[in-house]
Structure 1
Amino acid sequence: MNNSRFHILVASVLGVGYIPKGSGTFGAIAACLCVIALNAIFPLQNEIYQATLIGLTITFFFLGRVSSAITEDIWGEDSSKIVIDEVVGQWLSLCLIPFTWTNVGLALLLFRLYDIFKPFNIRSFEKYDKGWGVMLDDVAAGVWANVTLQIILLLFNFYV
């Protein structure tokens, strides 16, 4: 497999980015499915689950940055086919959040809202080139989703 094919697979998350409508949402859903699988692998080992999720998030952030830069030369700037940024942002929204189906659903909803509407100056991260802008706006959306979910869980004192 040549180098660009590898980066196309990474950037499109094994082809999820080719879904014609809502590819970003499908990328975020794919990330949630990975989290569900990760929890199934480490069902009663929250520390290992969290450490693995954080490690994957960091690893795919940097790999996604490189893959985004390479595939932007092929597909154009911030193509809808690039969904690795949604995966990383979605994972980030779930880091240090206890695994429950409710929390995964809330994180998905919050992340997609922040990613689509880009409040809190999230859009300003898009100005960076070489794949950084593609990744950083979704990282910002993931951080805001995570902080919002942490606040909800603290205020309502539930980790359901």
Structure 2
Amino acid sequence: MKTGARVLATFFGIGLFPLIPGTAASAVAALSYGLVLHGLPGTLYALLVIVLFFAGAASSAVHAAELGRPDPGRIVIDEVCGQLIALAFLPAAWVPVAVAFALFRFFDIIKPWPIRRLERLPGGWGIMADDVGAGLAAAVLGRLILLWV
């Protein structure tokens, strides 16, 4: 179980990158969206994100406990999930994907209220929830920005 949790929590090792692993994971999620995931039917895409959230919460809790830290930087499944929320149902064109990517990274790094409060949830829930909040904030603001672009 620990090996599977480590693989998923680090999103197949991306979290082990020595520099900016969260940004790298977000970039892989954005690239995956642009190349493949944008073509999924809406219900299947939503199901994928929901499964990723719950699997991410479980694997993050196990891997964080294994490392003895509440939210280690190597856990990046939360960034993947949050980035996919920010991108949900956008066209796979360069500008919308770039806007969603930049806004998600902004909200994930800055963590304005109430996003920061979500980190207080216990275990894997807190690891995942703040990125879901950042993804939702990026999705809303991104769509407003894209109305004028």
**Which category of TM-score, normalised to the shorter sequence, fits these structures?**
over 0.9
Instruction: Describe how 1:1-160 pairs up with structure 2 within 5 A.
Output: 3-39=1-37, 42=39, 48-75=40-67, 76-154=69-147, 156=148, 158=149
What is the CA–CA distance in structure 2 between the aligned matches of 1:101 and 1:19, rounded to whole Å?
25
| Structure 1 residues 88-135: Cα deviation after superposition (integer angstroms, max 9, x where no partner) | 000000113222111111111000000000113211011111200000
Divergent runs of 4+, >4 A: none
| TM norm structure 1 | 0.87
What is the CA–CA distance in structure 1 between the aligned matches of 2:98 and 2:115, rounded to whole Å?
22
Decide whether the 8 Å contact of 1:39 with 1:99 is kept in 2: no
Decide whether the 8 Å contact of 2:87 with 2:100 is kept in 1: yes
Aligned length: 148
Q: Can you give the 5+ residue segments of structure 1 that lack an aligned partner in the other structure?
A: 43-47
In structure 2, relative to structure 1, the CA distance for the partners of 1:14 and 1:39 (3 Å cut) is: closer
> Of the two, which has the highest radius of gyration?
1
Superposed CA RMSD in Å reads: 1.5
Letter in 1 for 2:113: F
SS of equivalent to 1:127: coil
* Percent of aligned pairs with the same amino acid: 36
| TM norm structure 2 | 0.93
SS of equivalent to 2:71: coil
SS of equivalent to 1:133: helix
